[in-house]
Amino acid sequence: MLIGENHPEGTGVKATVVYYTRFGHNAVIARAIAEKLAAGLERIETTRQYGFAQMGMRSFLNLDMRLRPMRTDFREDELLVLCTPIWAWKPASPARTFLKRAHLPPRLAVCFSTGGGPTLRAQEKLDQLLAGRGVAVTAFGEIDSRVGEEELRARACEFADRLGAVASGR
Ligand SMILES: Cc1cc2nc3c(=O)[nH]c(=O)nc-3n(C[C@H](O)[C@H](O)[C@H](O)COP(=O)(O)O)c2cc1C
């Protein structure tokens, strides 16, 4: 689907929003962005759910997570928007596993959701994962998810507006 084909707020860029969520915030964020951009929506899911300590440890130790089958080829898209929580200052492990395996388009936008912590290390980790793959990160967003659903949606829409502005050269 082309962004803007059937949506007045679309940007004319073919895009997909991919998200991972453990506690639901990124589902709200990703849906709002996809709706705003009239983009496709894909979910990263793990084969099992770990507890907080396991998630933190796996992230800290850079361990991959087993993912359920999903679309991995996004080369037909012009832009992929990845929405992921931060785990132990890094993009959550399932999102990192996805990034390693996926065939990405040349442009990636990343929206981190956080519990209020910094995202610089997560951005650096992302750069490492993408090194030499011909993928440019065109926008970073960070959303402190300790707010109600309406506010979460509003913050996601602000990020989507930024993406729309970049795409249309504003
Ligand atoms: C294992 C684990 C580690 C986390 N580490 C961080 C962190 O380093 N910094 C931060 O700001 N938030 C951290 N958080 C909070 C999440 O990033 C935040 O709650 C996020 O919005 C959850 O997204 P979700 O509801 O889509 O799963 C952590 C959460 C979990 C479960």
Domains, the chain, in order of start with CATH, read: 15-167 (3.40.50.360)
Instruction: Please give the model's pTM, rounded to 2 decimal places.
Output: 0.94
**Ligand 1 site-directed mutation target among 87, 110, 112, 119, most atoms within 8 Å of CB:** 87
| One-letter amino acid for residue 166 of the chain | V
Chain segment 32-71, per-residue pLDDT in tens: 999 999 999 999 999 999 999 999 999 999 999 999 999 9
Judged by DSSP in three states, 124 sits in: helix
Q: ∠ CA(48), CA(18), CA(105), 5° rounding? A: 125
3-state secondary structure 42-75: EEECECCCCCHHHHHHHHHCCCCCCECCCCCECC
Name all residues whose Cβ lies below 6 A of ligand 1: 21-26, 52, 55-56, 85-89, 113-117, 145
pLDDT tens digits, the chain, 170 residues: what are they? 334 343 445 667 899 999 999 999 999 999 999 999 999 999 999 999 999 999 999 999 999 999 999 999 999 999 999 999 999 999 999 999 999 999 999 999 999 999 999 999 999 999 999 999 999 999 999 999 999 999 999 999 999 999 987 666 55
Burial class (CB in 10 A: 0-12, 13-18, 19+), 38: buried
Q: How far is the CA of 44 from the centre of ligand 1 (A)?
A: 16
Q: How far is the CA of 70 from the centre of ligand 1 (A)?
A: 23
Cβ 30 vs Cβ 83: under 8 Å: yes
